Amino acid sequence: MGLASGVARASQAVGHSPVSRVKIKPMNKDYFFCGVGGSGMLPLAMIVQAQGNRIAGSDRALDQGRTPDKFDWLRAHGVALHPQDGSGVTGADQIVVATGAVEETVPDIGAARRVGAAIKTRPQLLSELFNAAPTSIGVAGTSGKSTITGMIAWILDRAGRRPTVVNGAVMKNFADADHPFASALVGGPDLFVAEVDESDGSIARYDATVAVVSNISLDHKSMEELRDLFGGFVGRATTAVLNLDNPETAALAQELALALPTGKAITFALGEEEADLSAHDLKPLPTGMSFELRVRGEAPRPVVLNVPGAHNVANALAALGAVKALGVSVDAAVAALESFAGIRRRLEVVGTRNGVTVIDDFAHNPDKIAATLKTLHAFDGRLLVLFQPHGFGPLKLMQREFIEGFAGLMRENDVLLMPEPVYYGGTTDRSVGSEDIAAGVRAEGRQAEALATRADCGDRIVEIAKPDDRVVVMGARDDSLSSFAAELLARL
């Protein structure tokens, strides 16, 4: 199976609040979200609530006392919270929503089985809502999904299209005091935009009008599996938006050109004249990027982004391609992009103290880490990189890629510090840990240390930091990283 088989099989089948001023069709059902505070669950819960349903949930982080502000906010917005001990699941009329994998050892799932409650995974529920919309944009790829989704949401919002959006991260343009966790946007029922995931295979559930693929690279699955999944995703869509700078997505564009009707794909690239949308003369700015946008058949336009890095220029091209497929004018889209404020924890500057700047960043796989390091090295200054791996599995799968990425992009005076991966229990292969990565980086001539805990890494950073250094706190699936970054800034 691969690109060709995925495409061929699929071709045969072929101004509002961040949460709830606009209601969709009322449903009046009882939903229980297991892990309701998670970055993927919270926005989905808010959209389901906005449809007129009652929401309850549990979360291991709530039981452990982590991120209390988030759970206070959920309570204040009508979400009934319970311990993750099964006590909140009491009747057969409830719909229990689990993460991508239904773990029978989770007490809420056991309780659902006992009382006869329906169980759905998050991908099942999200794809049902997504596929029910007459028009939909699905954003996929190994990296860049949340930013592209946020850019599309902002452009469509500014264009008056009232999209409903599910993102995996907080969109700063929609965040305010009442909605600090604005990873969901509730608009009308006719246009749905969502970040879709290939890591669990759930991308196969989504039938998008517009399928955006930013890039395809090794992350959680083998390349052969990824080619098949992405090939099917774009094959089922009316229009595919594809990145010619990535070899895998460029191959996918070529496959589409051979297998499917002309005009199926909108392509984008940095400096590639053959692409439908291309960016040229990229220049880093202190808070963003400037470039010349060329759209096939149109005059070039200057663009200024308020988010940094060449990768964000590529993300902007992807977003422009997606909205172009829905008939939004390029000029209107560019005007919106220039006021795009970014995504929380994407190269987010926490602050500067005594000449040391602390940056909070979601980078957690080799591609994202490379984009962050390249962006930061556009300007002078030593980097002190705290990288907290989000699991033992990814370290084992991508051990060589992590080592090569850090060693190849760090400068001689940069320092990498790694605690052990995030681990909240369960069965997993723990044979490759942080010291394996650090040792590999040191063997390539760069400075790297593996310490027992994140607190130890923080102490080490405070010890060695000096004016003009930039501290980058990297990692995913742990909301407390942002609090850690803020505390680190205070200690400097």
Q: Cβ of 120: how many Cβ atoms within 10 Å?
A: 15
Number of alpha carbons in the 13 Å side-chain half-sphere of residue 471: 34
Copy the structure tokens of residue 435: 């010291």
| The model's pTM | 0.80
Handedness of CA 108, 113, 115, 120 (dihedral sign): positive
Copy the structure tokens of residue 146: 């949340």
Chain-centroid distance, C-alpha 183: 10
228-256 core/surface letters (b: 16 or more CB in 10 A; e: else):
bbbbbbbbbbebbbbbbbbebbbbbbebb
| Cross-strand pairs, 80 | 56
- By C-alpha distance, which of 388, 409, 393 is closest to 345? 388
Residue that the structure tokens 């006992």 belong to: 114
pLDDT in tens, the chain (492 residues): 444 455 444 433 333 344 333 334 446 899 999 999 988 899 999 999 998 999 999 999 899 998 888 999 999 999 999 999 999 999 999 999 998 666 788 999 999 999 999 999 999 999 999 999 999 999 999 888 999 999 999 999 999 999 999 998 889 999 888 888 888 899 998 999 999 987 677 899 999 999 999 998 765 567 778 888 888 999 999 999 999 998 988 988 888 877 656 668 999 999 887 899 999 999 988 778 999 999 999 999 999 999 988 999 999 999 999 999 999 999 999 999 999 998 988 888 889 999 999 999 988 888 889 989 998 898 889 999 999 987 787 788 888 899 999 999 999 999 999 998 876 555 567 778 889 999 999 999 999 999 999 999 999 999 999 999 999 999 887 778 888 999 999 999
Supply the angle between the helices 310-325 and 366-376 in degrees, to the nearest 10: 120
